Structure 1
Amino acid sequence: MEFRHLVSFLAIADELHFGRAAARLHLTQPSLSQQLQRLERTLGVELVARTSHDVRLTSAGRAFEVEARAIVARVEKAAQSAREAAAGRTGTVSVGYNFPAGRHILPATLTRMHAEHPGVTVKLAERRTGPQLAALADGTLDVALVYGRPVTGGFRYRRLLRLPMVAVVGAGHEWAGLPGVPFAELARQSCILFDRDQCPAMYDAILAAAERTGIRLTVAQVVDDPAGTGILVSVTPLVGFASASRGMFAGSVPGGVRPVRLFDPVPAIDLYAVWRDAHTTPLQEAFLDCLETAGPFRVPAP
C-alpha cells in the first residue's frame, strides 16, 4: 500500500467524481483509476462503485475512508513536525547553568524563547563549570552557562557579564557586618576552597588575587558544594568564597551567611555561554539568538 494511493482514494471520496479528483491531484483520469485499482487489489475489497451516472463509496470504502484520513493526517503532522524541528521551532534544547546565570541570564532569555519559539522546550540543569563542560563535550548539554571561557578546542563561546567575588562568613565571624576588607586580610584567616577542576576560572581568580597581594591562603577544607560551604562557614570561623550574586542571596536569608566585599584587588570572574564548535543545531541557534537579544546583562548593585 502506497501513501499516494491513500491520497488518491481520499480525493475520490471527497469529490465523488473521477474527473474533478484527477484535476485536483494533477493526474489523468486513467492514472487515477489505476491507483485506485492497485489499492483495491492490495486490500482485496472494492472501495468505490461507479456507473455511467454516479460514483459512490461502498460500505468497505466508507469504513476505509475513516482510517485513511487518520493515516494521512498523522503523516502530514509528522512531516510538519520534522520541518518545525529542522527550523528550530520545536523540540528540546538542554542548557546547563550556574547560580548567577539562573538569576541574571535565564529569566530574560527564557521569556524571549517562550515568545519567539513556543514549541521549544528548554531543559535546564544546574551544575558547576567543570561538570557542565564535560556534559557539553559528550553531547548531554547543548549550551553551557559557565565561569570562564574554555581553554580546550572544540568549543565556541560568548562573554555575557563580569561578576565580582565576595568572601562569605558566619554571623559570628569578626568580619560579619563589615562593609568590606582588603584581600590581604585573608592572610590571617583560614579558608574553604574547592577542587580546581570544579570551577577553574573562580579558583584561578582567587589565587591570582592572592598572588597580587603577596599572600598565601591557608586552606583548611576543600568543599566542592557551594551550599556545603555556606553551612560550614555558618558554624565555623572559616572564610569561603562566592560570586557576588550567590553572596547577596545568601546574605538575604535570616541567620544565614554574611557576604563581605573584597577589594584591593577585587577578584572577578566572567560568565560565558559555551557550545560545541561543530554540529550546531537550529534549536541551539534559536536559544543563542534569544540569549543575544535578551542582553546586555547586568548584576544588580547590592
Structure 2
Amino acid sequence: MELRHVRSFLAIAEELHFGRAAARLHLAQPSLSQHLRQLERAVGAELVSRTSRDVRLTPAGEVFRELADDIMERVQRAGEAARAAAAGRSGTIRVGYNFPAGQRVLPGTLARFNARHRQAEVVMIEMRTGPQLAALQEGRLDVAMVYGEPAGRGLAGRRLLRVPLVAVVGLEHRWADRGEVPFQELAGENCILFHRAQSSAMYDAILSAARTSGIRLNVAEEVDDPGATAIIAAVKPLVGFASALRGRHAQAATGGPGTTTVRLYDPVPVLDVYAAWNADPGPLVESFLGCLPAGKEPVPA
C-alpha cells in the first residue's frame, strides 16, 4: 500500500468525481483510476463503486476512508515534526547548571527559548561543575553552566557572569556579626571544603586566595553537597564557602539553625560562570545558546 494511492482514494472520496479528483491532484484520470485499482488490490476489497451516473463509496470504502484520514494526518504531523527538529525548533535539550546560573541566567534564557521554540523541551539538572563536565563529554548533557572556563577536549564555552565567594558561618559563630573579614583571618578557623573533582575552579579560587594571603586553610571536614555545607556550618563552629548568591539564599532560609554570610576581602575570591557545550552542537543546542545573555554580569557580594 502506497501513500500516493491512499491520497488518490481520499481525493475521490471527497470529490465523488474522478475528473475533479484527478485535476485536484494534477493527475491524468487514467492514472487516478490505476491508483484506485492498485489500492483495492492491496486492501482486498472494493472501495469505490462507479457507474455511468455516479461515484460512491462502498461500505468498505467508508470504513477505510475514516482510518485513511487519520493516517494522512499523522503523516503530515510526522513531516512537520521532522522539519522542526531539523531546524532546531523541537526536541529535547538537557541543561546542567549551578546555583548562580539557576538564579541569574536560566530564567531569562528559558523565557526567550520557550517563546521561540514552543515545541522543544528543556530538561534541567542542578549539579556541581565536575559532574556537569563529565556528563557533557559523555553525552548526558547538551549544555553545562559551570564555574571556570571549560578545558575539556572538544568543549567550547562562553562567560556568563562573575560571582564573588563568601564565607558561610552559623549564627553563633564569632564572625556572625561581622560584615566582612580579611581572608587572612581564615588561618585561625576550621573550614569545610569539598573534593577538588567536584568543582576545580571554585576549589582553586579558594586555595589561590589562601596562598595570596600567606595562609594555609585548616580543613576540618570535606563535604561535596553545597546544601550540606550550610547545614554543618549552622551547627558547628566551622567556616564554609559559597557563591554570594547561594550564601544569601541559605541565609534567607527559615526553620532550624541558620547561617549568615561574611564577605571576604584582601583578596576577594571570585569565580566566572561559563556556559559549556560540545564544539559541534546540533541546531537545537545552537538555538538555546543564542538565547543566553551576553554575559560578564558582575554579582555583588
Please tell me the TM-score bracket, short chain as reference.
over 0.9
Superposed CA deviations along residues 80-105 of structure 1, whole A, max 9, x for unmatched, are: 11111211222211101111111111
> For 1:283-302, what aligned pairs fall within 5 Å after superposition?
283-292=284-293, 295-296=294-295, 298=297, 301=300
How far 1:287 sits from its partner (Å)?
Answer: 1.1
Amino acid of the structure 1 residue aligned with 2:264: L
Superposed CA deviations along residues 120-150 of structure 1, whole A, max 9, x for unmatched, are: 1111101100111111111111100110112
Aligned equivalents of 2:209 and 2:229: distance in 1?
Answer: 20
How far 1:169 sits from its partner (Å)?
Answer: 0.7
Distance 1:141 1:149, change over 3 A: same
Aligned equivalents of 1:300 and 1:154: distance in 2?
Answer: 29
How big is the alpha-carbon RMSD for the aligned residues of Structure 1 and Structure 2?
A: 1.4
- Contact 2:163 2:299 survives alignment (8 Å): no
- Contact 2:162 2:299 survives alignment (8 Å): no
How far 1:296 sits from its partner (Å)?
Answer: 4.5
Q: Secondary structure at the match of 1:204?
A: helix
- Contact 2:159 2:296 survives alignment (8 Å): no
Q: Secondary structure at the match of 1:242?
A: strand
How far 1:34 sits from its partner (Å)?
Answer: 0.8
How far 1:258 sits from its partner (Å)?
Answer: 1.0
- Contact 1:245 1:299 survives alignment (8 Å): no
- Contact 1:92 1:123 survives alignment (8 Å): yes
- Contact 1:98 1:127 survives alignment (8 Å): yes
Match in the other structure for 2:82: 82
Q: Secondary structure at the match of 1:291?
A: coil
How far 1:52 sits from its partner (Å)?
Answer: 2.2
> For 1:202-281, what aligned pairs fall within 5 Å after superposition?
202-254=202-254, 255-278=257-280, 280-281=281-282
Match in the other structure for 1:11: 11
> For 1:107-126, what aligned pairs fall within 5 Å after superposition?
107-126=107-126
Q: Secondary structure at the match of 1:290?
A: coil
Q: Please identify, of 260-269 and 52-61, the stretch whose mean Cα deviation from structure 2 is larger.
A: 52-61
> For 1:170-181, what aligned pairs fall within 5 Å after superposition?
170-181=170-181
How far 1:297 sits from its partner (Å)?
Answer: 6.8
How far 1:213 sits from its partner (Å)?
Answer: 1.3
Structure 2 length as normaliser, TM-score?
0.96
Identity %: 59
Amino acid of the structure 1 residue aligned with 2:292: L
Number of residues paired by the alignment?
299
Aligned equivalents of 1:187 and 1:227: distance in 2?
Answer: 24
- Contact 1:96 1:141 survives alignment (8 Å): yes
Aligned equivalents of 1:120 and 1:195: distance in 2?
Answer: 36
> For 1:70-109, what aligned pairs fall within 5 Å after superposition?
70-109=70-109
How far 1:299 sits from its partner (Å)?
Answer: 5.6
Aligned equivalents of 1:160 and 1:172: distance in 2?
Answer: 36
- Contact 1:233 1:257 survives alignment (8 Å): yes
Q: Secondary structure at the match of 1:156?
A: strand
- Contact 1:104 1:298 survives alignment (8 Å): no
Q: Secondary structure at the match of 1:159?
A: strand
Aligned equivalents of 1:22 and 1:289: distance in 2?
Answer: 47
Aligned equivalents of 2:177 and 2:249: distance in 1?
Answer: 16
Show structure 1 runs of 5+ residues with no match.
none
Aligned equivalents of 1:127 and 1:236: distance in 2?
Answer: 25
Aligned equivalents of 1:247 and 1:299: distance in 2?
Answer: 16
Amino acid of the structure 2 residue aligned with 1:134: A
Aligned equivalents of 1:263 and 1:286: distance in 2?
Answer: 39
Match in the other structure for 1:141: 141
